[in-house]
Amino acid sequence: MARITLDTLAHSYLPAPTGEADYALKEMNHVWEDGGAYALLGPSGCGKSTLLNIISGLLQPSHGRVLFGEEDVTHAPTAARNIAQVFQFPVVYDTMTVRENLAFPLRNRGMEAAYVRSRVEEIARMIGMEEALNRKARGLTADAKQKISLGRGMVREDVNAILFDEPLTVIDPHMKFELRTQLKALHRQFAHTMIYVTHDQTEALTFADKVVVMYDGRVVQMGTPEELFDRPAHTFVGYFIGSPGMNILDAEVAGTRARVHGSEIALGERYAEVGGRVQIGVRPEFCLLSRDEGLPLRVTRVEDVGRHRIVRGETEAGSVNLTLPEGMPIEEGADRVVFAPERINVYSDDWRVTPDGRAA
């Protein structure tokens, strides 16, 4: 097991990249702690699979270094890195039995037969496939095959890291929850460094201690689920995490006040002069409807999603969504929206501005 360091790492699929736009992965410096559970979260094409393949050695980066512990593995072949990887679509060896599939990585490394046997049985128990151990892998369902892939990824105890590349894409929703819980339990038990690539925020937020949000080849924020929710470092994080995402409105900010399309809004913090394109962001959970204060709002739609209601509306500065807890009525004539001051974040050219201090 090892700490993973990404040192000025960048990658372009082009032979002679010229500008930043040619890079699928823009230069980054990160240290991922030994034993951490990390999720790489981002939309399709943001570079998360590229990053994963660089770490696993299936791809050589154009710049920078990858270190496992103190060892530079940038140019080491996959086999020398001692990592495990689970792919998006199940990869099983069709002609082998389930048992042989699970034992394959151990046998290839010349482990003792008795150890292989007990370890395979342990893993089979975890993924719930003890019954099927002697069946041929051909003819199993996609679910079962992906469970074998997961099992094969976890069968080695001495791996530096286990990488998951959207492993639950082909799994039924009810199985997703179960497998995610099992992965989490495994992580607690063995404390492997785990890196989990996904575009599903629920998966990322439930699995990981630290979520790494990627956007356009860049890591825009790395933090706990709580940090991502409360203080998104980039408007993309605000928009991508949460359902619905953060409300983002163009504003002018001075001191502890923001002005949005002529309306004054109180901020929870004091800000020095903010340059560039200034926006404020507030999550729908911290918005309230009001009759006599706040930003004028025209409600366009109310969606009841069970535990809460989502109110969608338009202001002069753009659309705003609100999440109302169950049982909270929508008052007659409430045509304004109020933001909780301490929950407002200020952004300059999409990046979060650190406040100077608390508002007086």
| Cα angle 238-242-244, degrees, rounded to a multiple of 5 | 95
Distance, CA of 330 to CA of 253 (rounded, Å)? 30
Rg of the chain's alpha carbons, rounded to an integer? 24
Q: What number of helices (H) and strands (E) belong to the chain? A: 9, 23
Distance, CA of 224 to CA of 206 (rounded, Å)? 11
Provide, rounded to whole angstroms, the least separation between the CB of residue 98 and another protein: 13
Provide, rounded to whole angstroms, the least separation between the CB of residue 331 and another protein: 55
Provide, rounded to whole angstroms, the least separation between the CB of residue 233 and another protein: 33
DSSP 305: -
84 CA to centre of own chain: 20
Provide, rounded to whole angstroms, the least separation between the CB of residue 265 and another protein: 50
Residue (147 or 352) nearer to another protein, CB:
147
Provide, rounded to whole angstroms, the least separation between the CB of residue 219 and another protein: 24
Provide, rounded to whole angstroms, the least separation between the CB of residue 329 and another protein: 53
Residue (133 or 288) nearer to another protein, CB:
133
Residue (93 or 177) nearer to another protein, CB:
93
Provide, rounded to whole angstroms, the least separation between the CB of residue 96 and another protein: 6
Distance, CA of 38 to CA of 6 (rounded, Å)? 14
Helical ranges in the chain per DSSP H: 48-56, 78-81, 98-108, 113-126, 142-154, 173-190, 201-207, 225-230, 235-240
Distance, CA of 216 to CA of 190 (rounded, Å)? 33
Name residue, tokens 């492993």.
167
Residue (106 or 337) nearer to another protein, CB:
106
Residue (64 or 105) nearer to another protein, CB:
105
Site residues (vs another protein, CB under 8 A): 56, 58, 77-79, 83-85, 87-89, 91, 93-96, 104-105, 108-109, 138-142, 145, 149, 152
Q: Which two tokens stand for residue 285?
A: 């959970």
Residue (95 or 118) nearer to another protein, CB:
95
Residue (153 or 245) nearer to another protein, CB:
153
